[in-house]
Structure 1
Amino acid sequence: MKNRILLYFLVSISIFSCKKDIAEFKPTNPFENTLVIEKQFFDLDTLTNQIITGEKGTKIYFNREDFDINKNDKVTLELKEYYNRLELISDNLNTITNKNELLESNGVIYLNLKVGDKKINLKKDKKLRIEFAQKFRKGDRIYNGVLDSLNQITWIDDKETYISFPVFDFESTRQFGGVETYMNKIISIDSLDYYSQLNIDMLSDATSELYVINWWDYPSILISNLGWINVDKIIEPDAIISYELNLNQSELDNVSTFLIYQDLNSFISDYRQPNNLKFTEIPIKNKTSLVVIAKKRTDIYANRILLNKNTIGNLEIELKKTDSTELEKLLKK
């Protein structure tokens, strides 16, 4: 009986200790003050329709009837915009999918609408029209962001990216005596080339505005979910590698790693405890740099190395004591 009690006591201590270790591991982003992305607020009051333009050019087409709200509810819109890598890193917005696919971002927004302190949602089957500030690229799709317990974001493909597209209406044009008439149609972005060419084939006047527009530039995206929204395309890696870090410093509190991809608006961050530094299935593309940052009480240690498709096994990292100024330089090398 005594042996059973002792075993139960030891197991209880072990479980408690594990829970304590998990609870104490609260990683922070060492680059969170590199750039401060301010929240923007727009008072929509009880307006029926409104076009909201963010400071960096994002356009949101608000239609009150599409939201699940009462007639006299006063609506506030909250927006954050991210269009370059430093902005993404500052708020730790990884460019990786839930399937471990490397992404290149073409713009991220955080979008939220409230009545008082209560978040509001779109009605069933309704969508919100958005135009991002940067030109779309072939392969761009919409992804929705999900945060985990460590505040790491993962992007999930929105299944199908839909846009609003003005399709040439032959019948209406004939009824109005040849005046070119168009009908907005919801289409998959994969059909954009087809409908663009269809308009061109049917237009009689080559000087028509719709004839010369490249609809890939700034399409009107239709979204069903608010929150974190990302325009990305999947990047095919040059290689997938695995490695383990061996650091020259001991008694570290935590370790942060950042994969920086040259000429891509992409990065991947990870936060680890010092006894867990094995990394698997890491995508390599172009010149890929690994920035390793470790904290020991109030001191910060860091270094940056290049990775390639032949990188494998143990990586010896010589961490050097640094400060916030030198830390930022590691991102800009």
Structure 2
Amino acid sequence: MTEEDLARTTTTALSHYLRRKSTEGPAAYNAPLEDLLGRVQARLSEPFLAEVFARFVEHPFGAVESETMRLHLSQAMAQDPDFARELTAVLAGGEVSKASKPGRWPRRLLVAATVLVLVALVFVVARVTAPGPAPSPQTTIPIAGPTSDPPPTTSSARTTTTTMAPSSSPASPAIAGDGSSVPKGSPVPLVDLPRPNNDWIFEHGDHDVQLTQYPDSMWNMLATCNSNAYRGEQQFRLKNFSRLEVKAVGTDSTASPELAVKFEIFVNNDTVNAKQTVMVNPGEAKPLTVELPQDVYAVTLRTSFAVPPGKPCRSGNAVWGSPFVVATGS
């Protein structure tokens, strides 16, 4: 059983437990699951990961929140096998015993035992919570929250960094995504454009690129040890815009120092031939500009590795710092 399977089962178990706690209060208390929740919280104590954990607790059945939690748990287990052993010991006996120390049990047996216990717990919790309607993933709140909310502080370094912004004041089109409804040359933040099915794949808000903070940014986690995090894409719908600019692309202050990332922009239906590609080496931050055709109706932003996936495990957020499009006007 892989770390990814174990992380998925752990996330499901905690989702059901948190839902039960929200509806039943103290009566829902379960010692093993409470201990499991506490140990996961302790493991995800770094500022950015603590935010991921907090949003998962707030929306345990949210599709974005659950998937993000699963990804980070899988990565944590891949980097630290003792973490999986610790969870196994807690679920098996309620405390970390000698059997959970490295070298005593084969790792595969420990992971398999954890999965079996978690499956049983998920079944019991699901039976108890079955009468209540399950929330639809389509109605969940994206992990980064609405752009009007105050941006979360993701690390102590970000609170003291310089803030960069577009050279002129951003505009809001009277018709969403239509550049003819604002004056010619007006910059419109990409985060304000419509998205297919109104879905957010990337996280968005204020974020840093190599310690410099940028407003209205977007980012996604890349991880070389997780096949579901080898790349990320976000599409926007638009028309009557002549140019797309990004103040800086690169990784943030929490990324692995060795991480190199490829940033690509695709136009309309073509998701094979990039309109613009920028390779960003470790520690770099680069601007990005691409001219848009007159018949533009969609742009797709893609991030992927510029280094081979696999071990040693490398991870980090690939960030588009303050991307915006320039309106053609009426």
For the aligned pair, the TM-score class normalised by the smaller chain equals under 0.3
Higher helix share: 2
Larger radius of gyration: 1
Identify, as 1 or 2, the structure richer in strand. Answer: 1
